[in-house]
Amino acid sequence: MSFDPAQLQSLVSTYVVPLAWKILGAIVLWIVGRWAIRLIGSALGRVLARRELDPTLARYTGSVASGLLTVLLAIAVLSVLGVETASFAALLAAAGVAIGMAWSGLLANFAAGVFLITLRPFKVGDMIAAGGVTGTVREIGLFGTTLDTGDNVRAVVGNNKIFSDNIINYSANAYRRVDLSALLATGVDVDDAKVRLRAAVTQVKNVLATPAPDIEILEHNPLGTVLTVRPYCSNDSYWQVYFDTNKVIAQVGKAAGWPAPEARQAVRTITP
């Protein structure tokens, strides 16, 4: 079989060159399209920031817009490569049904994310307890919410798990209460102890004057009288007030000379 350069040249010019141009065009379109999507995303972010839109809603809107534009770009790239977009759309719809049935959990997370953005039980920057995790919200994504826990660990919780569970928002109100207690030994003047503790606790840094700290009798037990010590503070100052108030309780007891609580038993000897 003889080699025919003309035939090879005809084959290259007929099939290889057009295919190469299509591939090159698809690559260029993808690169330019991704650059344009990032540019549009940045512009959209600036517009939403100027309108003072909630950061949570702004990020969610940006994620949805970027996802939709990427899908349209993928369809355009396939069209450049010569793939029938109508057939592709039908295939995509059929695949969507199959994927929807197989990945119902992801769709549930997506739907829950929409409700979280709409109902807004919390926003980025709030400290919450939800889905078994307590931490500060960093991002509400399409499928999951990212939180930083108190020990600086990043956790991503599915939106559906958060939305279907109880949500505790520690940042929603202006202040919160710190619950502590002081155990007084039997014989300690309770009224004097309350006065001393109230005066000391009100001096703790970041303890609010209004509402004033609660210092009241909580219960009596075999060791003595238990006082509840409940100062109020902002959420950001919670642990500082918690630890400093505990320190103050110990200092007040030491300065007043309160004895350590101890269990006492009465032993009666019966002589027959």
Q: Compute the mean pLDDT over every residue in the chain, rounded to the nearest whole number.
A: 82
3-state secondary structure of 172: coil
Q: What is the CATH number of the domain that holds 241?
A: 3.30.70.100
Q: Which helix (H) or strand (E) holds 133?
A: strand 133-140
Identify whether residues 92 and 35 lie together within a single domain.
yes
CB atoms within 10 A of CB 107: 15
- Residue 99 pLDDT > 60, yes or no? no
In a domain, 233, yes or no: yes
Q: What is the pLDDT of residue 94?
A: 62
Burial of residue 233 (number of CB atoms within 10 Å: 0-12, 13-18, 19+) = buried
Q: Which two tokens stand for residue 183?
A: 């155990």
Summarize pLDDT for 222-248 with one digit per residue, the tens: 888 999 999 999 988 999 999 999 999
Identify whether residues 251 and 205 lie together within a single domain.
yes
The distance from CA 132 to its chain's CA centroid, rounded to whole angstroms, is 11
9 confidence band (pLDDT: 50, 70, 90): low
Split into its structural domains, the chain has a count of 3
List 111's β-bridge partners, or say none.
Answer: none
Q: What is the pLDDT of residue 17?
A: 64
Identify whether residues 96 and 9 lie together within a single domain.
yes
Identify whether residues 163 and 186 lie together within a single domain.
no
End-to-end, the C-alpha distance of the chain in Å comes to 130
Q: What is the pLDDT of residue 228?
A: 95
Q: What is the pLDDT of residue 24?
A: 80
pLDDT over 90 for what percent of the chain?
39
Q: What is the pLDDT of residue 97?
A: 61
Range of the domain at 158: 119-169
Identify whether residues 217 and 237 lie together within a single domain.
yes
Smallest CA-to-CA distance from 157 within 138, 172, 184 is with: 138
In a domain, 25, yes or no: yes
Distances (CA, A) of 12 to 2, 5, 8, 35, 167: 18, 10, 6, 33, 65
Work out the average pLDDT over 79-101: 62
DSSP 123: -
Identify whether residues 16 and 48 lie together within a single domain.
yes
Q: What is the pLDDT of residue 10?
A: 65
In a domain, 140, yes or no: yes
Taking the model in full, what pTM does it have? 0.60
DSSP 153: -
What is the C-alpha R_g of the chain? 33
Give the span between the Cα atoms of 211 and 107, in whole angstroms: 45
Summarize pLDDT for 22-46 with one digit per residue, the tens: 788 778 888 888 888 888 888 877 7
Identify whether residues 219 and 186 lie together within a single domain.
yes
Give the span between the Cα atoms of 216 and 230, in whole angstroms: 9
- Residue 81 pLDDT > 80, yes or no? no
5 confidence band (pLDDT: 50, 70, 90): low
Identify whether residues 187 and 233 lie together within a single domain.
yes
Q: What is the pLDDT of residue 182?
A: 93
CB atoms within 10 A of CB 83: 14
Q: What is the pLDDT of residue 39?
A: 85
